[in-house]
Amino acid sequence: MARSGFSLAQHSKLDRRIVDATAALNASRMGIYEVLETNGGLISLKELLTNVPFRSTCPAGYPGKPGGLMFSRIVPGPEAPSLILLAQLSKLRILSFLKFVHFHSLK
């Protein structure tokens, strides 16, 4: 769906800012991330399922707390990826949810 929206935006007479925003969303990804540390507006994160570390910014200014989990969309940016926080979660709640989903997917 995102790719078709991006293709439509590219080949239409939409404002360039809309095309660029659509491209950024098309290149974005959603996931559950653990905050490793925060420093001067940069947030060090680790993707929960793959353990891949990276740094991001949060345009809204939310720094997160080390050890905290975030369900977020990561959007590519010119200097560092931008984090759009969708929910702050406790590690116990998200791990319980993932175990529940995994258990019920085996049936």
Domains in the chain with CATH codes? 29-105 (2.40.50.140)
**Dihedrals phi, psi of 50, to nearest 5 degrees:** -105, -15
pLDDT of the residue at 105: 77
Task: Residue 86: count other Cβ atoms within 10 Å of its Cβ.
Answer: 12
Convert the pLDDT of each residue in 63-107 to its tens digit. Answer: 788 988 888 888 887 777 777 776 777 777 777 877 888 777 776
Is the CA virtual torsion 9, 10, 16, 17 positive or negative?
Answer: positive
pTM, rounded to two decimals = 0.65
CA gap 48, 61 in Å, rounded: 22
Which residue do the tokens 């590690």 mark?
91
pLDDT of the residue at 68: 87
Residue 1: which pLDDT band, with cuts at 50, 70 and 90? very low
